[in-house]
Chain A
């Protein structure tokens, strides 16, 4: 009988961990998306949301550390699965193709490690830009002085490199989740033969919604929308 620590390092244990961490990341990212969409709300919505989160103080730090841990475990297992597959098949096929039918091989499933690694690099970059970036102060309608994250976001996405770079990475996020959501259901054993096609479709639709939800923001701002939303003057 393996200890729990050993059990979660077995092939089955690892898969369950990928699934759990994957689902937690999806929950996080939906939460994050909801926050981002505040840019379409009233002019103060985004900054007051950011202020609201910062009110949590130490709790926010606990959440951040937890999230980091989830991220690291997820990425670590994902990459190690990818590295192992080469060892498991030292001589590769000359000709290989999927047989279709129930197979879920697709550009999305075959590139999980690639899209994952891009996301990993992106997140470091992203935190550097928005969490650690230079922010001025803004005043909310009620007079509270807060970090002006909204202006930072709007300024950043005036740069086409940022606007289109972000859009591209969000498409990759969609690709990761296109297989990922269905896969997590299967990893966490929420599966039935009959519902498989339905679950797969739900996964793909959710992935598209999430990706589009994120990527409309840089595009909207780049093409001038942010200026109205921010009630500021853009070039």
Chain B
């Protein structure tokens, strides 16, 4: 298969205070087997050789498990494919001559650090607000001491797969962090280890989400559509039920 030429329109922003702008690039020699991030690597090599600033973008694992690579590709968080992180997207999705617009995940709570890299510590603070779970210190307990029903453990695991990428926030018309927060709550509140602090955790995480400046949920379900691990908005419904139980 012959190489493709891709037209790129990428958001460039020097720092948080810079107002930012789009820059156009024409990138030849893109191979269909390249991952999306490898395509950006090729662009950056070219930019560096030409003495220009490379495009900053976040990544770590490049295998869909760390959640770093969230970027908005032609208006869709993580690109066009369902249940696929940007790093797992391949250039075979595109054709020769395509134009690809790349923007950082945009939300007031995610200030841009540089180019496509945003500060997502707001999500960490939501986790922090959730606090601890009560476990005995000392030697690790015998794993089978606390029985957990298979169904429950499977469901908890499904919710635990949230990789904290913030695509749900990026894609939500209201910039709500409900899916992220709810997936954490549905994971922890479901397991016996997470039960004792259940109410406290639910209230604190819901409060923190608002303090960070994330918007309200309007049940658009766009978050579920872009989530690279397919967390269901059922968790958001669950969060509401948990919250109601907690306040009464």
Contact = CB atoms under 8 A, between A and B. Distances in A.
B104 to A, nearest CB: 9
B80 A99 contact: yes
Interface stretch (A58-66, A162-170, A187-195): A187-195
28 contacts: A1-B247, A4-B247, A4-B248, A11-B176, A11-B178, A12-B240, A14-B216, A15-B240, A85-B175, A88-B107, A88-B174, A88-B213, A88-B214, A88-B215, A89-B107, A90-B108, A93-B106, A97-B74, A98-B76, A102-B225, A102-B232, A103-B220, A103-B221, A103-B222, A105-B220, A179-B219, A186-B236, A186-B237
Closest 7 CB pairs of A and B: A88-B215, A88-B175, A103-B225, A95-B75, A97-B75, A99-B225, A7-B247
A104 B174 contact: no
Given A10-B210, A97-B74, 5 more contacts: A2-B207, A81-B218, A85-B216, A89-B175, A183-B219
Contacts of A16: 240, 244
A103 B243 CA distance: 24
Interface string A1-42: 110100100111111100000000000000000000000000
A61 B220 CA distance: 37
Report the interface size class on chain B.
35 or more
Nearest to B20: A91
A101 to B, nearest CB: 5
B99 to A, nearest CB: 10
Interface string B202-238: 0100110110011111111110111000001110111
A93 to B, nearest CB: 6
Contacts of B85: none
B240 A187 contact: yes
Nearest to A9: B210
Contacts of B171: 99
Of A88, A93, A95, A98, most B-chain CB atoms within 10 Å = A88
A11 B206 contact: yes
Contacts of A191: 233-234, 237
Chain A: interface secondary structure?
loop
Of B76, B238, B240, B248, most A-chain CB atoms within 10 Å = B240
Nearest to B199: A1
Interface of B: 20, 22, 72, 74-77, 80, 82, 101, 103, 106-109, 171, 173-176, 178, 203, 206-207, 209-210, 213-222, 224-226, 232-234, 236-241, 243-244, 247-248
A85 B107 CA distance: 10
Interface string A38-51: 00000000000000
A97 B234 contact: no
A189 B237 contact: yes
Contacts of B233: 102, 186, 191
A14 to B, nearest CB: 6
A138 B118 CA distance: 70
Of A85, A110, A192, A193, most B-chain CB atoms within 10 Å = A85
Interface in A50-106: 81, 84-85, 87-105
A189 B176 CA distance: 18
Nearest to A6: B247
Interface string A143-170: 0000000000000000000000000000
A182 interface: yes
Contacts of B178: 11
Given A10-B207, A10-B210, A96 B75 contact: yes
A189 B241 contact: yes
